[in-house]
Amino acid sequence: MFEGRVALITGGARGIGRATAETFSQRGARVVIADRQGAESAAAELDGLGVEVDVADAGSVAQAVARIMEKLGRIDVLINNAGITRDATLVKTSDAAWDAVIAVNLTGTFNMTRAVAPHMVAAGRGAIVNASSIVGLHGNFGQSNYVASKSGVVGLTRVWARELGRKGVRVNCIAPGFIATDMTAAMPQEVLDGMKAKTPLGRLGTAQDVARAYLFLASDEASFINGQVLGVDGGLVIGT
């Protein structure tokens, strides 16, 4: 499916990003794992390339993309998966917590796409998939910074789909619901039960559920899908 293509996954050393890298590798892609730490060791297990990068730092991103192009000569798929949370209610959200989440989730997506897009445009093709969230569409208690960042990602996706689509580059995003990760594994059981109760399918999503959504939107099977938000949430509606 992706033989001969290069897929760059940010936040790819662990969790959803790692599952995504494995999924693309299994489909024949040459995987590039970009992360703040652990990228090289994770990539080595997949016969890929690992690059350490801080997506919030435009200089770090430019260096990483230059290295990828030097080593591999192309980037066919960009999965903007890197993201963080710093949850608190509005009046308890510090400047540092606000800035950190916006820097990684929103500015990081901007930095990576701005650096990669020219190479895709030059090639006349490419697929970019961004990570939003169900809360970016509906809001969520105690997540002003995270919701703002993920709502912003939806807006960027729609702008870039218009700008880049005419040049052969598709841009879409996914909006996951409650996903089982290392972070959720540490939560109290009653909290997990509450998450499941809000999800009509009655379970948390898996990293593989998200990875397969990334895979589909990046694939030729989605060649006429552009500027869309795909919910990966088990039918979840926040607040129900």
In this predicted model, what pLDDT tens digit does every residue of 43-83 receive, in sequence order? 999 999 999 999 999 999 999 999 999 999 999 999 999 99
Instruction: Fill in the amino acid letter for 83.
Output: G
Q: What is the mean pLDDT of the chain?
A: 95
Lookup: tokens for 56? 């919030």
214 as an active site residue: the answer is no
- Alpha-carbon Rg for the chain, nearest whole angstrom, is 17
Q: List the single range of 71-85, 106-120, 145-159, 191-205 with lowest mean pLDDT.
A: 191-205
Q: Domains of the chain by range and CATH?
A: 6-231 (3.40.50.720)
Residues 39 and 51 sit within 8 Å (Cβ to Cβ): yes
CA distance 72 to 116: 13
Q: Is residue 237's pLDDT more than 70? A: no
* Phi, psi dihedrals of residue 51, rounded to the nearest 5°: -130, 130
Q: Is residue 220's pLDDT more than 80? A: yes
Segment 70-97 shows an average pLDDT of: 97
Which residues, at least 6 apart from 53, have a Cβ–Cβ distance to it below 8 Å? 10, 34, 35, 36, 39, 60, 61, 63, 64
What is the reported pLDDT for 52?
97
Lookup: tokens for 125? 């093709």
Q: Is residue 187's pLDDT more than 80? A: no
Write down the catalytic residue from 2, 24, 110, 146: 146
CA distance 20 to 240: 30
* Phi, psi dihedrals of residue 32, rounded to the nearest 5°: -115, 120
